[in-house]
Amino acid sequence: MSDSNSNSPSLDELRRAFDTQLATAIQSANVQPVRDRYLGRKDGLITRLLKDLGTVPPEQRRERGAAANTFKAYVEQRIEEAAAAVREAAQRAALERDSLDVTLPGRRPTLGRRHPLTLVRDRLEAIFTRMGFAIVEGPEIEDEWHCFDALNMPAEHPARDMQDTLYLARPVKGESGRPDDLRTLLRTHTSAVQIRYMETHQPPIRIVVPGRVYRRDDLDLTHSPAFGQVEALVVGEGISMAHLKGTLLAFVREMFAGSSRVRFRPSFFPYTEPSAEIDISCWQCDGAGCPMCKRTGWIEIGGCGMVHPAVFEAVGYDTEKYTGFAWGLGIERIAMLRHQVGDIRLFYENDLRFLEQFPH
Ligand SMILES: [Zn+2]
């Protein structure tokens, strides 16, 4: 019979090693590895110790067995205590972390604010919604058909030069001549959405289309290559220029001043006939003349006109039955006028000193 225990550490040595390892385990808040090492069902040091008792000479067995069991009880108890201590420490730490001092004054959350251009757009939408218009949006990446052709601006039309923009895809050589053969581009005006809407709806139509549009303009005091527009379109039976003027006047009086007046100057747009530039009386001087209106008493805010029959033909409307009007306004332009902002670039620079001057 071999004495396999002769080179094994004594129980005293084992206990000292255990105490040291357990102390380290408590510090790192993880007792489990020590538990496995000593009490593990298969390889635990104490499990092996008890198994090895079978090899101990019978006369020593009782004494060695008793000592091993005492040590096992000791280890079990110390590990249990250590696990409890670690649990309690974790709970205490969590409580401290989550503690709530109800006597502290509340922290006021910093509220953001709407951008001045958003303020103008929201106000526009509110006014038109009250007047019974639906708010409609469309894609900023448009095809030539919706942006130009359907709006009576065929290829080579000089008006296309004035609305030069970024083209996104090379033309696909197709035979059908259908819109999907056409190039895509960043839309130059929200009027493209008129076409999309009329293609899928029948009159009567009353829509307002706000959105971002793109031109090949350099950024300066009054121009930006990307800016906001809002477009209005009304189509129905018997719609006349009088409806256009009345609706516009009602809008302007809500947007600017109750005493505003509207003036039309003849103009040209391919998609309207007749066409006009819209001037409104200066709300600073009420038409008397001041620096804001360059002493003229009038301020230009956009363009308008009666929808050209060619546009109705493009979407398959009966040009004998329906008439309509449309206008387009610049959102930045309105914001600059309303708040007397002299430089359009201020709207895009995100300088809080500028943005915080506007009401919430
Ligand atoms: Zn004025």
pLDDT per position as a tens digit, 150-201: 988 887 777 777 677 777 765 555 544 554 567 788 999 999 999 999 999 9
The Å distance, Cα 281 to ligand 1 centre, comes to 8
pLDDT in tens, 101-160: 788 888 888 878 889 999 999 999 999 999 999 999 999 988 888 888 898 888 777 777
The Å distance, Cα 262 to ligand 1 centre, comes to 14
pLDDT in tens, 50-59: 888 888 888 8
The Å distance, Cα 292 to ligand 1 centre, comes to 5
The amino acid that residue 312 corresponds to is: F
Distance from C-alpha of 154 to C-alpha of 87, rounded to nearest angstrom:
79
The Å distance, Cα 302 to ligand 1 centre, comes to 17
Across 66-104, b (16+ Cβ under 10 Å) vs e yields eebeebbeebeebbeebbeebeeeeeeeeeeeeeeeeee
* Structure confidence at residue 4 (pLDDT): 45
φ and ψ at residue 82, rounded to 5 degrees: -60, -45
Is it the case that residue 260 has pLDDT exceeding 80? yes
User: Global pTM?
Assistant: 0.66
Beta bridge partners of 277: 265, 303
Angle 94-105-95 (CA atoms, 0-180°, nearest 5)?
10
Distance from C-alpha of 166 to C-alpha of 184, rounded to nearest angstrom:
9
Average pLDDT over the chain reads 87
